[in-house]
Every structure is written in C-alpha cells, then in structure tokens.
Amino acid sequence: EVQVLESGGGLVQPGGSLRLSCTASGFTLNNYDMSWVRQAPGKGLEWVASISGRGDNIKLAESVKGRFTISRDDSKNTVYLEMNSLRVEDTAIYYCPKVEQWLALDYWGQGSLVTVSS
C-alpha cells in the first residue's frame, strides 16, 4: 500500500527554523517526483516545492525561495523540507504528496502542522 507520512511540525517563533520529513512506503521513492503543498487554516491549497526523482530538478514557489529548501534521501525513503526565516504567514498544514504523470498529486499523507507565532 502506498503511503506517505509527514512529521516534524510544531510551534516556532517568527524568524525560526524547522525541518519537515516525509517518509514514503509502498513504492520506490527514487522513481517519483515529490512535492510539498500547504494549506493555511481555513484556506485553499498552495504548492510550495517539488523535487524530481533523481533530485536534480528542484522547483520552489516564489513565496518561499531563499528561505525553504527541498531535498531527498532515497536510502531513507524520505523527502525533507528545510524551512528557515519562518513568517507568521507560513502557518499551515504541510502535505507531501507523491507526483504522478501529468504532475497530478496522487497520494497524500495526513499532513504536519506548522505554527509560526510569538
């Protein structure tokens, strides 16, 4: 069964850092692109970042460029989102969906809540 499990969220002060992890099971991670998508409380979905199966093609939303980094460790079946210089507006549930053909997002985990507040 294909599953992704996000972890690492929590409460952090503005300007702080946090690293989210996304552990995959049921599929070979390095065969697929992976993404991070976030959802602020009561709001819609916002794409944040994507990384190719080989890790050599990375895309980031303008709103997080220079602050967030996406990476992957296929030996650990894990994708990471390193978040620095966090802002109040980064408060959201962060999801790590698997990317299939047509850049659709076919499997989603339950998400990890990040709260940026003083």
> Are residues 92 and 20 in contact, defined by beta-carbon separation less than 8 angstroms?
no
To the nearest whole angstrom, how small is the minimum distance from the Cβ of residue 85 to another protein? 20
* d(C-alpha 62, C-alpha 104), whole Å: 20
Output phi, psi for 40, to 5 deg.
-70, 155
User: Which amino acid would we find at residue 115?
Assistant: T
With respect to another protein, which residue has the nearer C-beta, 16 or 52?
52
Looking at the DSSP bridge assignments, the partners of residue 79 are 22, 72
Q: Kindly identify the residues of this chain, within the stretch 20-79, that bind another protein according to CB under 8 A.
A: 35, 44-47, 50, 59, 61-62
Q: Kindly identify the residues of this chain, within the stretch 98-117, that bind another protein according to CB under 8 A.
A: 100-111
To the nearest whole angstrom, how small is the minimum distance from the Cβ of residue 33 to another protein? 11
To the nearest whole angstrom, how small is the minimum distance from the Cβ of residue 105 to another protein? 6
Quote the distance between the C-alpha of residue 54 and its chain's center.
17
With respect to another protein, which residue has the nearer C-beta, 17 or 25?
25
With respect to another protein, which residue has the nearer C-beta, 13 or 31?
31
To the nearest whole angstrom, how small is the minimum distance from the Cβ of residue 37 to another protein? 8
- 58-60 and 68-73 strand pairing: unpaired
* d(C-alpha 44, C-alpha 67), whole Å: 22
Residues that bind another protein (CB under 8 A): 35, 44-47, 50, 59, 61-62, 95, 97, 100-111
